[in-house]
Structure 1
Amino acid sequence: MPRLVDHDQRRAELGEAAIRVILREGLAGVTVRGVAAEAGWSTGSLRHYFGNQYELQAYVVQATTDTLRRRVVPRVQRLRAQGSPIERIATIVEEMLPLDDERREEYALWSAIVEWERHHPPAGGSVTWNDQRALHRQCVAALYGYESAREPERARLPHPDEQVEFWAALLHTFVDGLAAQIVNTPGEMSADTAARLLRSLLRAVLRARQDRHAHRPEAESAARAD
């Protein structure tokens, strides 16, 4: 009796093998020959699933994106009841920083996705960029006293408060820069320094919110006088 093949399982195995290749060699190493060797397959067997390198890499990028979401999202959404608002938000944002082996591995995978998107721009914009901007937008909105968006699609939309959107963009850019320096110049950007700088920026966000509230009564009084 012929052996039944679970094609979904075999594709999943290929995705896992390709992720190992990415971590070792980057996206450029994800070739039909390279992934077949990593998975212990023949190139002919792999071509049964993917006709060329483009199809293989497109599948691998999607599989990598799904893997990262499964790993990172639960950590980001974990309830944090301890500490000040600044500390709770900082520990959420730090899930995006390569501060340990697990997060350095995730940073390498994010980088591979960004490389793919740079050469093959998605029709709806960068998935990676939009996911990360949504996270930073939610964090800033929380510091500004807004409730979190319950639907992921809503979190990806610009916030109606322009100040939230401004600080979310600044935080996103800041965290990207911190992550790059932690990976590329660890001697100059230690985990402790990164943590201190992140909290300094979050305090600036909170001060901006407090300053706006402090000036609002004056503005309202001036408007009534006019």
Structure 2
Amino acid sequence: MPRLVDHDRRRAELGEAAVRVILREGLAGVTVRGVAAEAGWSTGSLRHYFGNQHELQAYVVRAATDVLRLRVLPRVQRPRTQGSVVERIATIVEEMLPLDAERREEYVLWSAIVEWERRHPPEGGSVTWSDQRALYRQCVAAMRGYESIREPDQATLPHPDAQVELWAALLHTFVDGLAGQIVNTPGEVSADTAAWLLRSLLQAVPRE
């Protein structure tokens, strides 16, 4: 009797192997041969699931996106009741900064997703970018006294308060730039410096 193959499980195993390759070599390392070797498969077996490198990388980017959401969302959504509003918001935003080994891995995955989207612009725009902007929009809105948005889809829409939109864009741009400096010039931007810079920006958000 032929052995049944759990194709969903095998695809998941491939996704896990490919994420390990991204963390080690970046998106360029995600080749049929490279991922097959990481997973312990033959290239022929891998081609049963993906006809070419483009299909494989597209799948891997989706897997990396899922990994980021599973890792980051629980930390971002953790209830925060201690400290000032600036301190509470800062601890949320810091989850997006590569301040430790885990978050540096997440930055590598995010960079791979950005690289893929640059090569293959998604219809309707970047979902990852939209998710990040929604987070910053909610952070700024909270600082300006608005209630939290319960429906995730609503958070991706422009806020009626123009100041929320402006400062969400500024915060988004600032965090992306600061993350790049932490990774690329670690001797110049320490974790303490990054924390101070972030809180300085948040202090400048107008409350009225």
* TM-score normalised by length of structure 2: 0.99
**Structure 1 residue 148: Cα displacement:** 1.3
Q: Is the counterpart of residue 12 in structure 1 residue 8 in structure 2?
A: no
Q: Equivalent residue for 2:34?
A: 34
Q: Matched residues, percent identical?
A: 85
Q: Equivalent residue for 2:165?
A: 165
**Structure 1 residue 32: Cα displacement:** 0.5
> Which one has a bigger Cα radius of gyration?
1
Distance 2:121 2:3 in 1: 40
Q: CA RMSD in A?
A: 0.6
Kindly provide the amino acid, as one letter, of the partner of residue 98 in structure 2.
P
Q: Equivalent residue for 2:195?
A: 195
Q: Equivalent residue for 1:222?
A: none
Q: Is the counterpart of residue 114 in structure 1 residue 114 in structure 2?
A: yes
**Structure 1 residue 151: Cα displacement:** 1.3
Which aligned runs of 4 or more in structure 1 are off by greater than 4 angstroms? none
Structure 1: gaps of 5 or more residues: 213-226
Q: Equivalent residue for 1:96?
A: 96
Distance 1:189 1:131 in 2: 26
Deviations 1:8-27 (A, max 9, x none): 00000000000000011100
* TM-score normalised by length of structure 1: 0.91
Q: Equivalent residue for 1:136?
A: 136
Any idea what SS the aligned residue of 1:131 has?
A: helix
Distance 1:118 1:162 in 2: 29
Deviations 1:163-186 (A, max 9, x none): 000000000000111100000001
Say which is worse superposed, 109-118 or 141-150, in terms of deviation: 141-150
Structure 2: gaps of 5 or more residues: none
Q: Which has the higher contact order (CA 8 A, sep 6+)?
A: 2
Any idea what SS the aligned residue of 1:99 has?
A: coil
Distance 1:141 1:113 in 2: 27
Higher-helix-fraction structure: 1
Q: Equivalent residue for 1:87?
A: 87
Distance 2:125 2:47 in 1: 29
Distance 2:178 2:188 in 1: 11
Deviations 1:75-134 (A, max 9, x none): 000001111111000000000000000000000000000000000000010112111111
